[in-house]
Amino acid sequence: MARKNNGNPAPIKDILNKLTIEELNIKGKRVFIRADFNVPLDDNLSITDDRRIRSTLPTIDYAIDEGAKVILASHLGRPKGKVDPRFTLAPVAKRLQRLLGKEVIFVQDCIGLQVESIVSKMKEGDVLLLENLRFHPGEEKNDGEFAKALAKLADYFVNDAFGAAHRAHASTVGIARILPSAVGFLLRKEIEYLKGTVQNPVRPFVAILGGAKVSGKIGVLENLVDKVDKVIVGGGMAYTFIKAMGYEVGDSLVETEMLEFAEMIRRKLIKNNVKFYLPVDSVIAQSIEAGSETKLVTTQEIPKGWRALDIGPASAKLFSEAIQDAKTIIWNGPMGVFEMDAFSRGTFAIARSVSDAYALTIVGGGDTDLAVHRAGVSDSISFISTGGGASLQLLEGKELPGIAALTDRKEE
């Protein structure tokens, strides 16, 4: 998906001392690949978006080409440690089979004698998908015995599930501590872009933050405060900053307990000569329901009983002009309730501006991912992260348990 890169992210060897799949001798070996196949399904159990499956194909194809016996595992939904037919991975097996152009053996459990027997009959290049890991309570509890039962199936472990790398579960952490383990291609790309870019950005470096709450982005703001050149804040979280400056925001979303922090961060950014942008106008309504009356007002004139649900056209123009000269852009969080047509224009305008920028552009977070796809500009974004919580934690500068547990590369 790379395009218009004025700067490349730092290579993984410079930012993460972990083995990669290419450094394992996997020919003829059983390779357990933890993927993130947590895809949306409709009521008929049909996959409505297979991007997460497609994003892991390079790792799967590599393992097949190298003659490995490929064992795939993932979670799907929240079955809470019990077998729930609504969350079966059977539809994923069918889609994978189509995408790979070869048979995918689907096993109706992920541990046990039956699974071990099927695995023992695998030939080089075979692909097998285990049933939902979260059908067992031991997965989310990172239970040692469950991790051992998973590890028994394989010779090597490869983590390619960035979307689950911030979880200390049996299939991300427990198994990695038992088997020689490595980073898959998708996980490597996520780390290179998200961590490498923040560590060594081509400037000007612009961070665009949106979404509902300041509290969800505290760590990101604190980590970026001395790294970025410009910060643009939209979405619901903007109104906590605006309220903290002493302005009336009507019934807009405000985190009262975050007012002091918001003002402290704003002052710190300005003190660091970081240009800080907030909405100057807003689309407001009395409710989020379809067909509600909307008004366009300056941000300082939101009446009581009304709430801001999108940035206005002047804000979209201001923000777009602010990113025109950017060489690196990270965007996490929409500008409003973009799922509804009446409040989608601000988010889509920013999506188009980010896609038009001659810069390395990185989009993180599930909502932002969906927004750039709905805006029709996803092919013009340099990199779209597959992880919501995981991408936020990397942008916060935190270590992810699923990465930390992998085997360290030995110093040459």
Closest CA to 80 of 135, 32, 126: 135
397 flagged as catalytic: no
Structural contact between residues 69 and 119, judged by C-beta atoms closer than 8 angstroms: yes
From 52, 134, 266, 307, active-site residue: 52
pLDDT below 50 — which residues of the chain? 1-6, 412
- Residue type for 111, please? I
Residue 389: phi and psi, rounded to 5, are -60, -35
Contacts of 127 (CB under 8 A, 6+ apart): 60, 64, 70, 72, 96, 100, 102, 103, 104, 105
What is the model's pTM? Answer: 0.88
The full set of domains in the chain, from first to last, is: 21-183 (3.40.50.1260), 191-395 (3.40.50.1260)
DSSP state letters, 208-241: EE-SS-SGGGHHHHHHHTTT-SEEEE-STTHHHH
* Percent above pLDDT 70 for the chain: 96
CA distances from 157 to 38, 125, 138 (A): 19, 16, 18
pLDDT of res. 254: 93
The first and second tokens of residue 11, run together, are 């290579």
Q: In 3-state terms, the chain is what percent helix, strand and coil (to 5)?
A: 40, 15, 45
The first and second tokens of residue 122, run together, are 């695998």
CA 157 from chain centre, in angstroms, equals: 22
366 flagged as catalytic: yes
| DSSP one-letter code for 381 | S
From 366, 374, 397, 409, active-site residue: 366
* Percent above pLDDT 90 for the chain: 78
CA distances from 394 to 11, 122, 182, 210, 347 (A): 16, 37, 18, 17, 23
Contacts of 124 (CB under 8 A, 6+ apart): 27, 28, 67, 68, 69
From 152, 177, 213, 317, active-site residue: 213
Closest CA to 176 of 196, 198, 161: 161
From 77, 81, 389, 397, active-site residue: 389
pLDDT of res. 398: 84
- Residue type for 4, please? K
Beta-sheet strand order (sheet of 328-332): 275-277, 230-233, 205-209, 328-332, 360-364, 383-384
pLDDT of res. 5: 47
- Sign of the Cα torsion 295, 300, 303, 305 reads positive
Q: How far apart are CA 189 and CA 200, in angstroms?
A: 15
pLDDT of res. 195: 86
pLDDT of res. 11: 55
pLDDT of res. 412: 47
